[in-house]
Amino acid sequence: MAPSTTVTRRVKRKAPRAFLKRTLKQKKPHLGLGRCCDLLIHLNCLLFIQRLAEESRTNACESKSRVIKKDHVLAAGKVILKKSRG
Amino acid sequence: LSPYVKFFSFCTKMPVEKTALEIVEKCLDKYFQHLCNDLEVFASHAGRKIVKPEDLLLLMRRQGLVTDQVSQHVLVERYLPLEYRQQLIPCAFSGNSVFPAQ
């Protein structure tokens, strides 16, 4: 691979804790959040995204496309959302 | 939701189309909805109004992320930065004290 294509953007590892708390409050206003639970939710989110990324990547590889398209993510989302039911 | 979308395009290691990223956002929305419903059910089943770490552990077990081979602490060590790990995994400190207390 040419060096220009392997440039990786920095990824923030900081968790958007306020955002997580806010969304949970919005959806379930009567539910409280224990200490450090938002971090665990963040972890869960990261794992979900990673699974989604892997699945859509394999979908794209199977259809021999170089970029990830809309329907690849759609198909992956269906599978992964089913897998991540509680 | 933008940090998670960025993380998605980092994980794929592939160029991603703009429309595909919108779909990712939609998926995340659905995912949060499911997550909140599950947490509510778990907490109310235990007779609490506060979500505790046990609920998250149970959720991840149900999702097949935490298994007998891979424990939750392994996942925390692998994916979260050090400052958060210190808050999540109990560790012995000086003066024979363990933080966070079990």
> Residue B38 and residue A86: Cβ atoms within 8 Å?
yes
Residue A3 reports pLDDT greater than 70:
no
Going through B53-102 in order, the beta strands assigned E by DSSP cover 91-93, 97-99
Query: Which two three-digit tokens encode residue B102?
Result: 């079990």
Rounded Cα distance between B14 and B16, Å, is 6
Closest CA to A76 of B30, B35, B37, B58: B30
Specify the 3-state DSSP secondary structure of B31.
helix
Q: Mean pLDDT, chain B, as a whole number? A: 83
Phi, psi of A29 (to 5 degrees): -65, -25
**Would you tell me how many other CB atoms lie within 10 Å of the CB of residue B67?**
9
User: Which pLDDT tens digit goes with each residue over A6-37?
Assistant: 445 556 677 778 888 888 888 888 877 877 78
- Which of A37, A42, A50 shows the shortest C-beta gap to B51? A37
Q: What is the ipTM of this complex?
A: 0.85
3-state secondary structure of A66: coil
Give the distance from residue B31's alpha carbon to the nearest chain A alpha carbon, in angstroms. 7
In this prediction the pTM is 0.84
Average pLDDT of every residue of chain A = 80
Instruction: Please state the CATH superfamily assignment of the domain spanning residues A43-86 in this structure.
Output: Histone, subunit A (1.10.20.10)
Contacts of A85 in chain B (CB under 8 A): 34, 38, 62-63
Q: What is the pLDDT of residue A19?
A: 83
Catalogue the long-range contacts made by A2-10 (C-beta closer than 8 Å, 24 or more residues apart). A8/B10, A9/B6, A9/B10
Residue A5 in this model has a pLDDT that exceeds 70: no
Model confidence pLDDT, tens digit, residues B53-62 = 888 888 888 8
CB contact under 8 A, B56 and A60: no
User: Closest Cα of chain A to B82: distance in Å?
Assistant: 10
Question: What is the share, in percent, of chain A residues with pLDDT greater than 90?
Answer: 0
